A and B are shown apart, each in its own frame.
Chain A
Amino acid sequence: MFFTLLLVTVAFIIIILLEVPRLVVQKKWRDLAAFSFLLLPAIVYSYGITLDVNLPNPTHLIIKLFDPLALRLEQLLGTTQ
C-alpha cells in the first residue's frame, strides 16, 4: 500500500507541476479554477481507493434512482429474467 500511495502522490505532483506554473505565469485564473475543480475529486477518490475509504459511489446513486424504472420496463415487455 505504501508503494501505491507513493506512486499516486508522484503522479499528482507531476500533473500539477506540468500545468500549474504555466497557468500562474499566464495569469489564467479561470483555467486554473477549472483545473483544480477536476483534479480535486480525482485526488480525493484515488487516495480513497488506495486507503480503502468508503466514498459515495455515483453508480450506486444511479442504480438506486433507476432500478424501479428498469424493473417496470422489464415487466412491461415481459422479459423478466
Chain B
Amino acid sequence: MEKEYISARQCIFLLIGSIIGISLMLVPSLTIVIAKQDAWLAPWLSTIPGLVLISLLVSLNKMYPGQSLVQYSSSILGLPGYFLSLLMLWFFLFLGALNLRSMVHFLTSIILFETPPSILYFFIILLCAYGIKLGLEVMARAFSLLIPFTIILALIIQVFSMINADFEKLLPILSNGVLPVIHAGLNFTAFPVGEALVLFSMIIYQVKNLRGIGAKLSSGFIFAIFILFLVIERAIVTLGPERASRSIYSIAAAINTVSGGGIILPFLTLNGFVFSVSELILCYYAFVTGVAHWAKLSDYKPLILPAGALFMVLGIYSFENAIEEATFSSIWTVYALPIEFGIPLLLWVAAVIKSRLKPTNQL
C-alpha cells in the first residue's frame, strides 16, 4: 500500500473535528439528563483519560513506527492480536454506522422532514466514499480548510444563542453530590472522547513530522473539550437543566428560543454536518484501511464501496425504534470503554513487557 502523509497541523484539525463530531448535537442532553446543572463539569473530568489514551497511542506509535493499530497488535501479541484487531474493526464499523444514523436522524428531524432517510444515508455515504477514494491527504487538506471556518461559525452561534442566558441556572453547584457528575463524565469519556481518539490509532502513523505530536494532539483535544463544554453550558444557561434534558437536540432548541433564531438554524446544520462528517469519514477510513491491513492487501481502494454499503445497511438496521436508540446510550458506556481504553492499554503493557524481556534474553 502506498504511503500517504499528513502534517501534524492537519492531524490536529481532524482530531478537533472528530471529537466534536455528532456529539455537538447529542452530548448536551445526554450529560444534562444525568448530571443536571453540573453537566458542564463532565467534559473536564474526561480530559485525564483522554490525555492518557493519547499518550498510550503516541508511545505505541514510537515503539512500532509506521504501523497502524491493526498491524502492531498482531506483531505484539501474535495470533490473539489478530482477534483483538478484528474486535477493533468491528468497533469502527459499528461506530461509523451509529454516527451515520445519528446524522440522518438529526437531518430528518430538524430540516429535511419529508426526505426519505435512505436517500440521505446514500448521499452521505457516497460523499464519504468519494473522499476516501481521493485519499487521506486530500481529506486532511479539505478538513484543515473547513474546520477553522466551522469553529468560527460555532462561536458565532454561541454568541447569538447566549442572548437569553441566565447564569443563575448553573446554581446550586453539586447539589446532588459528585456521583452523577462522575457518571456523566464516564459517559462523556466513552461517547465523544474515547471513540474519536481511538480512531487516531489508524491515523497517527501517517503523520509526517512526529516531533512533539503528543503535545500538539493534546492541545487540539483540550480545545475540542472546551468547545463541547461551551455547548453544554449554553444548553444549561439558555434552556435550564429540565428543558435541556427533555429535548433530543438541545442545541437547536436553544437557538429556537432566540427571536430570529430560525436564520441561524441552517448555519447550525452546516456546522453539525461538517463536524459529524469528519468523524464518520475517519471511521470509514479506519475501517477500510484496517481491513486492508488485517488481510494484508496491497490497496484499500477496492474495499471502499462494499464497506460503504455495509455502513449504510448497519446504520438502517441497527435500531428498530427511537426508544431503543435512547436507552442504548447507557449501554454504550460499558460496551465501548473496555474497547476504547482496554485494547490500547493491553497492547501497550504487552509491548513494554516484550521490549523489557528482549535485552535480558540477549545477555
Show the binding face of A for B, using Cβ within 8 Å. Answer: 11-12, 15, 18-19, 22-23, 28, 30-36, 38-39, 41-43, 45-46, 48-49, 55, 57-59, 62-63, 65-67, 69-70, 73-74, 77-79, 81
Chain B residues within 8 Å of chain A by Cβ, number: 38
B299 proximity list for chain A (CB < 8 A):
31
- Min distance, Cβ A22 to any Cβ of chain B, angstroms: 8
Binary contact readout B85-108 vs A (1 if CB under 8 angstroms, 0 otherwise): 000000000100000000000000
On whether the beta carbons of B316 and A79 are closer than 8 Å, the reply is no
Given contacts A34-B295, A81-B33, 19 further A-B contacts (CB under 8 A): A12-B309, A23-B302, A28-B297, A28-B302, A30-B295, A30-B297, A31-B298, A33-B295, A34-B292, A35-B306, A38-B307, A45-B313, A49-B317, A57-B317, A57-B320, A63-B331, A70-B333, A73-B330, A78-B180
Contacts of B297 in A (CB 8 A): 28, 30-31, 34
B134: interface (CB < 8 Å): no
Contacting residues, chain A, for B111 (C-beta < 8 A): none
- Report Cα–Cα, A15/B314, bound state, in Å: 18
A-B contact count (CB 8 A): 105
Interface of B: prevailing SS: helix
* Given known contacts A57-B317, A77-B180, A62 and B309 CB-to-CB distance under 8 angstroms: no
Contacts of A66 in B (CB 8 A): 331, 334-335
**Between-chain CB contacts (< 8 Å), 11 pairs:** A15-B306, A18-B305, A19-B306, A28-B298, A31-B302, A45-B314, A69-B334, A70-B330, A73-B330, A77-B180, A79-B183
Q: Nearest Cβ distance between residue B234 and chain A, in whole angstroms? A: 23
Contact residues of B with A, CB < 8 Å?
Answer: 33-34, 94, 177, 179-180, 182-183, 186, 291-292, 295-299, 302-303, 305-307, 309-310, 312-314, 316-320, 324, 328, 330-331, 333-335
Asked if A62 and B183 make an inter-chain contact with CB atoms under 8 angstroms apart, the answer reads: no
In whole Å, how far is B359's beta carbon from the nearest beta carbon of chain A?
37
| Nearest CB in chain A: distance from B32 CB, A | 12
Nearest residue, chain B, Cβ from A42: B309
Task: For the complex formed, measure the closest distance between the CB of A31 and the CB atoms of chain B, giving whole angstroms.
Answer: 5
A37 CB → nearest B CB, Å: 8
CA of A46 to CA of B296, assembled, Å: 28
From B94, B186, B291, B313, residue with most partner A Cβ within 10 Å: B313
The residue in chain B whose Cβ has the minimal distance to the Cβ of A45 is B313
A58 touches B330 (CB 8 A): no
Instruction: Say whether A73 contacts B183, CB under 8 Å.
Output: yes
Q: How far is it, in angstroms, between the C-alpha of A31 and the C-alpha of B183 when the chains are bound?
A: 44
User: Could you tell me the distance between the alpha carbons of A73 and B338 in the complex, rounded to whole angstroms?
Assistant: 14
From A18, A45, A65, residue with most partner B Cβ within 10 Å: A45
Query: Within the complex, what minimum Cβ distance (angstroms) separates A33 from chain B?
Result: 8
Contact between B318 and A58, CB atoms less than 8 A apart: yes
